[in-house]
Amino acid sequence: MKLRNLGKIAAGILIFVVLITFLFWYGQGKSFLQPALSLDTPAIAQLKELRCVEDTVFMRTNHMKLLVTWRNGTVREGNRLYTATDGRIFETKLSGTCLKCHSNKQQFCDRCHNYVGAKPNCFSCHIIPAEVRK
């Protein structure tokens, strides 16, 4: 087979490769402003030890998995209490437990979620308390 359009094919492949690798080279070397999360709520100020349900590193990477486990356990198995690794026990409620401390949803949840463009649909049903919504 004779490649008569070799130039066009090569150009096409080049454009394809550039586009497909765009995500890997575009952000290189640039610095982005990380979202600053606020822990400034009355409930958190009263805590003796600054610790979420689990430790911060775990919560940062796994809060979604924890919430899914809570959700399935509560609805499908009826387990409404969660024992953390340090022995403390929490009620598995999104509005009642999570938002009780993190009553600044806009300065806490939303900042990161908007930054990474993750839009969970938790709050299309679960109620955001009036003091959190404002």
Partner 1 sequence: MTPSRRDFLKIAGISTLSLVAPAILSPVWAKDKLTIPGGAPLTAKRWGMAIDASKCPVGCVDCITACHGEHNVPDIGNPKDEVKWIWQEKFSSVFPHESHTYLRESQAQLKLPVMCNQCANPPCVRVCPTQSTFQRQDGIVMMDYHRCIGCRLCMAACPYGARSMNYRNPQPFIAKTNPDFPTRTKGVVEKCNFCDERLVRGLKPACVAACTKNALVFGDMENPRSEIRLLIEKRFNLRRRASLGTQPQIYYIV
* Interface ranges with partner 1 (CB under 8 A): 71, 75-76, 78, 80-81, 86-91, 95-96, 121, 124-127, 129
Tokens linked to 33: 């402003």
Which is closer to partner 1, CB of 57 or CB of 125?
Answer: 125
Which residue in 90, 65, 88 sits closest to 79, CA to CA? 90
Which is closer to partner 1, CB of 105 or CB of 111?
Answer: 105
Residue 118 Cβ, how far from partner 1 at the closest point, in Å? 17
Residue 79 Cβ, how far from partner 1 at the closest point, in Å? 10
Which is closer to partner 1, CB of 37 or CB of 94?
Answer: 94
Residue 94 Cβ, how far from partner 1 at the closest point, in Å? 8
Which is closer to partner 1, CB of 71 or CB of 111?
Answer: 71
Residue 54 Cβ, how far from partner 1 at the closest point, in Å? 14
Matching residue, tokens 């822990």: 39
Tokens linked to 66: 């924890």
Q: Please list, in sequence order, all residues whose beta carbon lies within 8 angstroms of the beta carbon of residue 40, skipping any fewer than 6 positions away.
A: 104, 107
* Secondary structure E strands in 20-71: none
Which residue in 112, 109, 115 sits closest to 133, CA to CA? 109
